[in-house]
Structure 1
Amino acid sequence: MPAGSGSPRPAPTWLAFVLLFGASLSLQGYRCLDGDQAYRLPLLLHSQTPSLYADDPFVRAFDAFNPHRGYLALLDYPSRLVGLPAALFLLYAITFAITCVGLRRLAEASWPGWGGWAGVLTVALVLLADAGNIGTNHLFEPMLLDRLIGFGLGWVALSGFVRGESGLLGAGLIGLAGLVHPSVGMQLGLLLGAGGTAGLFWPGRLGVSRARAAIGLGALAAALVPTVLLQAPQKAALFDGLDPETFRLLSFRVQGPQHMLPHLWRGMQWLSWFGYVLLAGLTLASEGRPLSAPRLRLATLLGVLLLGLGTAWVAIEVIEDPRITIFQPFRMATIARGICLVVISGRVLRLGQAGGRPGTLRAILLAAGLGSDGSMVVAVLAELAWTLGERLRSARLGAFAGAPVLAAGLAYLFRHDPDGGHLPLLAGIVLGIVLERARSRWTFPGWTLGRAVRLSALAFAVPALAMIAAIAPPSGPGWLRSAREALISRCRFGESPIDDVERLALWARSHTPPDARFIGPPGPKTFRLWSRRALAFNRAGSPYDASGLADWARRFADHVGFDGDPASFARSYLDDRHALERRYQQMSDADRAALARRQGAGYVLAAAPPDEQAPEAGSPLELLRVDGRYAIYRVRGMPDVLADRSQTEGDLRRSR
């Protein structure tokens, strides 16, 4: 820009990623200290302070098999330095940045004519993409998880392959991913290795030399050696302790069916996932031949993924191989979605550039369709109809070819889709019409530095207000308390409880002995982490190895009064899980006190008594604290219970 021209200074595209980060925090939220973190972070706290959770059955089960050691080591130093919540958010922001770098590099290599904006659009589409979530691993989630870090490192590594760079950096990143999340790292390594092997066989077509491909493969193998060495000694513990059929029932059907068993995923999920692949294939086909080397390398990765996932489906559903199933290969279906979105971003950009009501509408509908499975299927079918319509001789007919498909799809979703998939599509139609009319009348403002800074600040409004709400006193008018809780529920950056269980857990942390053990209802996840106290059992907190699973299943059965072996219990759970779990709350005080003694616990988390009445005279439970729907009780004769814990544990072990 010439000096003194007075023109506004253009903003760098990286500010668009800052804006997207703020928008994702405001619209999708940010969570910490709950969900999957609620049963992984106790492992970190125990490693930092061995006396904490020293007697927790779940935490100690990971002494035998723990694939999270690298992730916990990554969290260790930052959490000691700035505290656990701050460390979680810091690493979350870094993970977002790494993900943006990888996706931007992929998009720029695939669509070089669009510069950095192809990457911005790709990241935006990834943040929107909830549809087609087979395997239930999201492309990006509102909380820090080890697999999210692994995916971020993987995007950068894959971008190096697509750009034809040396494989040394990619190999190192895959090695780091393997340390943080062994399964994700190994699967990404297999994908990158398959791409490198293709380079050995077809160096000319893929635009890589055989020497570079061989060096990359060697570096990749070396980078994964530490992961193999760390996990190999634990391999024997994984299946030792249960017969194969019971292990399948507990691990695959009870513990994690949503991640492991493809036949349990809904048909609409599968259709929407294939919609990504169809759109990506359609986009690449429309680019003509020959494909550029980066696009061909990207298509090679997608082809390898489709072949690998098809093979994995056979191994899981036909052969029923437990080792393949527990490896969770359908995590790579998430990577396939991401690669498809890199390709689809070029289509959306082209449609948006074409302008006119049909082009703008089609571009927005493709983005809006990512919100749910049903909307994705309808958006893809409508886009397919429009694409076929472009081949008609009549331009007017072609422009409206997708309208009947879109109308029929909206009618179907309105009547049959429980997720309300018609709503984002209707919103997209309205937005498309408004934008096209606005574009025909006005010139859209440019991406200037001042405007980018103001928009970014606005995007961070909700997380900023949530931080203020977290330090504000919880007292005040009802509307103020409701607003405070809503903000914290949307973006929680620290130990700000938002439900009865979390509030009781904080009370227990300061009012019960550090070595106290609790029993509680099977469902709520957060009590163990928030209380810093041992919990005899929680359904969500289950080990991975066979011996740990067997112990977990016996404790589960004991908590719901089920008499039978683990295999029978698993079948009963699958028949009616909710009825089984309700048995805990239906127990009498005497039954819960007896359960606590069998589990070596001195405290009970259970439903609050009616109108906060104290238990009946002679009850074995003493009411200590009530908060909303739940209460904490002490087992009368608690010192005796604690003294007898070692004997109780010995009895439990002998009963196995």
Structure 2
Amino acid sequence: MFLTMIRRRWLPIAGGLLLIGLFAGLHLLAHGYHFGLTEDAHAVHLPFLEQTLDPALFPGDPMLATRSGYPSFYFQLLALATRLAPIPTLFLIVHLLTLLAYLAAVAGLSLRLAPDRLPLRPLLIGLLLTLATLPVLGGDDLVLRSALPRHVGLALALWALLAGLLERRLLAFALAGLSINLHALSGGFALALLLAGDLLRLPWRRWAAPLLAAALGLLLALPTLIWSWQAAEPLTPAWIDLLRLRSSQHSFPLTWPLTDFVAFGLWIWLAGLTWWPLRRNEQGRWLAGAALAVALLAAIGFMGAEVWPLGPILRWQLFRSTRLLTVLALPLVVRWFLTTWDRGGLARAGSLVTLLALFAPWPIVWIAGVLAGGLLTALASWAPLDGLARAVAVQIVRTRRLRLGRFLAWPAAVRWTTAALLLALLVSGAAALTQPRVPADLLVAWRDVQIWARENTPVDAAFITPPYYYGFRVESQRPVVGEWKDGTQQYFSVPFTAAWWQRMRDLHAAGASDIRYNDLSAAEVTAIAQKYQADFIVFFIERELPFPVVYRNQWFRVYQVSPG
């Protein structure tokens, strides 16, 4: 009896955990692990953490002053955890745990929403699709490359949604409320989806339970809600104009490419094909409620950005709620794949074409492939054409009997596992090989400049650095005049927005890739240094200026521009 319990209960769990671990490794292969200078968000987040550990760092740096308006306890928790491990080790641990939690949530959703005679199939396809190019609006993505608040918030939000789907209401709303304290957007969106799902699933006489649970979630989020209320600032038309210039990808939908909307619509269409037969049961109504919540948030986001621009709506980046809907749709797409595959014939070919298309990194190919796969599955209802497709498939199996015959003779679980892992390995390897690479010696040189600054200049020494080349604060622990990346903090400070833009204008930076900084004259450098009380300026090595050179390496040159 004991052995039977192990075989029936614990072996499947162990196998599922092993697969989740394998796919975590494949994610690391495909996307790498970014820390410090190789992760653009760390240009902001690591200085926040460093200043949390040592408030004396970065004196007078306006970007660091925006920390008071960034409502998240993520950095305080990391600061406490640095007692247990150094920062690089700690970030790696947090990233791995976040990635495992994200994949486990996807696996749980797939097993729940795509029940199958062979549970291994939805588990494999669900995990496989996490490596695909999943469409999300609002300049967001579902690629986890480092330990970031939004990634931790996403993992917690997905577990909250899974608990809500399983009718673990208190746990679901509690997780959503707690995640608001780490990443307000992810937790807030999860709370809205949970409430809408329960209200549509339950008769109105039973609405008290989800409303009380939502109140519990808000109560747990109270520290961040109070923080947000205290940090609130009046938003001006000038702030909205600069937001459109710097961060239109997050808040202004009419600036996004049409392919973003088409791809997202096709993804929801694939999920909808499977959802339609479920629309009247409890799970189907819950999913409909969650989808309606995202649709409502997106409609408010559009109206508050493009029709009557409203600062609070723009700040909340409501279109980024679509990534939760993307993941909720994933198990329904898994179910569609399995259903069409089991139909055989032309439908099976259509499901395979669609599956492969989802891994295309080019939007046009992605869209064309999904449309082609959908068309093939639709044509499968035409009996003569479907019969022809089945006959061709039989002929292929016969002509490749020696190769396919042995494979088809394997147990179904082995066949599906082998095929899924091979495809995942192929996709991950291709992604790893095609990732843009920064020359290793350039990164080393950029880090060396910062280490020299930390070891050879006072803590209040201010640097002028290339605004298009981010992250000087990370290793130097010194304030800078400004980087283009700093502009992301405009969501959390209105005064900073105007100050940041003025600094970018002074540095001749009108965009993320504007390199006119390299053409600054000696007189302009002197004027900038006097205006912002900077002591040093960093240029690439080929630029020569009539100032004392205090440091150089194979890539960079540092000049002292203050009297010293």
> 2:135 matched to 1:146?
no
Match of 1:633?
559
1:343–1:398 CA distance, 2 compared to 1 (3 A): farther
1:176–1:29 CA distance, 2 compared to 1 (3 A): same
1:527–1:122 CA distance, 2 compared to 1 (3 A): same
Match of 1:197?
199
Q: Distance in 1 between matches of 2:388 and 2:329?
A: 25
The structure 2 residue matched to 1:529, chosen from 462, 474, 498, is 474
Contact 1:358-1:399 within 8 A present in 2 as well: no
Provide Cα deviations, 1:603-653, integer angstroms capped at 9, x if missing partner: 11113236xxx75xxx2x111233344321112522xxxxxxxxxxxxxxx
Q: State the shift of 1:172 in Å.
A: 1.3
Amino acid across the alignment from 2:44: Y
Contact 1:361-1:433 within 8 A present in 2 as well: no
Match of 2:337?
348
Q: State the shift of 1:38 in Å.
A: 1.3
Match of 1:624?
550
The structure 2 residue matched to 1:55, chosen from 51, 60, 68, is 60
> 2:236 matched to 1:232?
no
Contact 1:196-1:217 within 8 A present in 2 as well: no
Amino acid across the alignment from 1:36: A
Q: State the shift of 1:157 in Å.
A: 0.8
Q: State the shift of 1:316 in Å.
A: 1.9
1:119–1:294 CA distance, 2 compared to 1 (3 A): farther
> 2:210 matched to 1:213?
yes
The structure 2 residue matched to 1:555, chosen from 484, 503, 509, is 503
1:534–1:18 CA distance, 2 compared to 1 (3 A): same
Q: Distance in 1 between matches of 2:398 and 2:141?
A: 31
Q: Distance in 2 between matches of 1:447 and 1:245?
A: 59
Match of 1:115?
119
Pairwise CA RMSD? 3.6
1:21–1:76 CA distance, 2 compared to 1 (3 A): same
Match of 1:311?
300
1:175–1:592 CA distance, 2 compared to 1 (3 A): same
1:194–1:357 CA distance, 2 compared to 1 (3 A): closer
**Which consecutive unaligned segments of at least 5 residues does structure 2 have?**
391-396
Q: State the shift of 1:540 in Å.
A: 0.8
Amino acid across the alignment from 1:316: A
Amino acid across the alignment from 1:86: T
Number of equivalent positions = 534
Q: Distance in 2 between matches of 1:547 and 1:609?
A: 36
Q: State the shift of 1:437 in Å.
A: 8.7
Provide Cα deviations, 1:237-271, integer angstroms capped at 9, x if missing partner: 363xxxx2211111x22331111110111011111
Match of 2:393?
none
Provide Cα deviations, 1:273-299, integer angstroms capped at 9, x if missing partner: 1110111112223xx466543244223
1:629–1:361 CA distance, 2 compared to 1 (3 A): farther
1:394–1:446 CA distance, 2 compared to 1 (3 A): closer
1:53-132 correspondence to structure 2 within 5 Å: 53-63=58-68, 65-68=69-72, 70-113=73-116, 114-115=118-119, 117-130=121-134, 132=135
Match of 1:36?
41
SS of residue paired to 2:60: coil
Q: State the shift of 1:59 in Å.
A: 0.8
SS of residue paired to 1:127: coil
1:325-340 correspondence to structure 2 within 5 Å: 325-340=314-329
1:95-494 correspondence to structure 2 within 5 Å: 95-113=98-116, 114-115=118-119, 117-130=121-134, 132-165=135-168, 167-201=169-203, 210=207, 212-235=209-232, 237=233, 239=235, 244-250=236-242, 252-285=243-276, 288=277, 292-354=281-343, 359=348, 362-363=351-352, 365-372=354-361, 373-396=363-386, 399=389, 438-442=403-407, 443-444=409-410
Amino acid across the alignment from 1:217: A
Amino acid across the alignment from 1:281: G
Q: Distance in 2 between matches of 1:435 and 1:229?
A: 67
Amino acid across the alignment from 1:546: V
> 2:462 matched to 1:517?
yes
Q: Distance in 2 between matches of 1:194 and 1:598?
A: 52
**Deviating more after overlay: 621-630 vs 152-161:** 621-630
1:489-500 correspondence to structure 2 within 5 Å: 498=443, 500=445
Amino acid across the alignment from 2:240: R
**Which consecutive unaligned segments of at least 5 residues does structure 1 have?**
204-208, 401-431, 467-482, 562-572, 639-656
Contact 1:623-1:634 within 8 A present in 2 as well: yes
SS of residue paired to 1:605: strand
Contact 1:624-1:634 within 8 A present in 2 as well: yes
Provide Cα deviations, 1:347-389, integer angstroms capped at 9, x if missing partner: 2233444556861562353244243322321122112212321
Contact 1:279-1:344 within 8 A present in 2 as well: yes
Q: Distance in 2 between matches of 1:160 and 1:72?
A: 27
1:211–1:593 CA distance, 2 compared to 1 (3 A): closer
